Amino acid sequence: MNRLRQFWQRVSEGRQINDLWSQFTADARASYSFYMKEADAEDLEGRRGFRRYVHIAKTLFWSMLMKMTPARRVLLLVALAMLVIGRNAAFDVNFEALAAFLFLLLLSLELADKVTMKRDLEIAREIQMWLVPSQPPDVPGVDIGFATRPQNSVAGDYYDAFYPNPEERGRLVVVIADVAGKSVPAALLMATLQASLRTIAGEGASVEDLVTRLNRYACSHSLEGRRFTTAVLGEYDPASRRLTYVNAGHNAPILRRANGTLESLTFGGLPLGIELDSQYETSSLELGPGDVLILFTDGVVEAFNQAGEEFGNDRWLGAIRSLPDWNAQETLQFLMKRVDEFVGATRQSDDITCLVFRSKQRNVL
């Protein structure tokens, strides 16, 4: 009994049955959505009853089959044929055992690919984490907090807060961006965006010049507009508490004033990589004591629960309105908790990133 208990602890990693079931159902829904992407929604809606379930089963089977290599497709079909033969065979050959062996062989091959890919993605994730700050910079009069949750091992979301000239520590560049796409392709474009941004900002470029040059670079690598990037770029002056920003097609950051009123940062233009000669409008505002600026990606408001309902802008604005008078990191945790409570264990389809920029009271240095 003790060995059985140890075996179960090792297999389940000490998780309770409810946790394991929640994880299984979340994985099952995510897999179903993944394999059913190629299904014709109109054709599926036109079917009812038994015909609908047969069509779903057929779509799932062909979707899984065509994602394998040709050799593994044949192996799977042979195993399925052996199962059918085994139930009707008149001669003394255990086809069902042979089929089980082929299924295990196929599983081991697919698992080996997954483990190898997972290891590579973990390395890519470590490299990507080097490109974003692990700790916020020390800025007079400002408290900063940030967090990101990639949908996969690597993400297309990017956030940063840095001094272009660390020795002078004058202006601070703040950015949040979302590269179109998912996983490795988006992560690679995110890395090039980070390198370009740091290089251009280090040359002392203004916000307007910065976004214009980034857009030109993005257009030259956009694959005819298919790989665009939404972003909010800002330059903050600690001495005047003034923020100059541009919104390139991104979700509008929300500024919550100390008196509770909300403002949206909407001035800007198209996402980066859409039009080479796109014009961008910048705007400036002053952060008063106790004001808090929330920058976020669309994965926040588009987070969905088990029923497929989105968190939405209204809930997000409601959470921002009810913010306690906490520091940036606690504020961030408060907002993310609201999203987590709504989502539950449902696996998300997009990266979630949030950056909190809080202005301290003037008597706090």
* Residue whose C-alpha is closest to residue 301's, from 334, 332, 333, 343: 343
**C-beta separation of 83 from 95 below 8 A:** yes
The whole-number pLDDT of residue 50 equals: 76
Give CA–CA dist 273/247, Å, rounded.
Answer: 14
Q: Extract the residue ranges of the chain whose pLDDT is less than 70.
A: 38-46, 87-93, 120-121, 123-125, 127-128, 130, 152-155, 181-184, 222-226, 361-365
The pair phi, psi for residue 250, each rounded to 5°, is -95, 165
The whole-number pLDDT of residue 28 equals: 77
CA 149 to chain centre: 6
Phi-psi region of 319 (alpha: psi -120 to 50; beta: other; left: phi over 0): alpha
Residues 6+ apart with CB under 8 A from 21: none
Q: Which helix (H) or strand (E) holds 123?
A: helix 95-131
The whole-number pLDDT of residue 128 equals: 65
The whole-number pLDDT of residue 365 equals: 39
The whole-number pLDDT of residue 223 equals: 65
Half-sphere CA count of 25, side-chain side, radius 13 A:
12
What are the chain's domains?
A: 2-126 (no CATH), 136-359 (3.60.40.10)
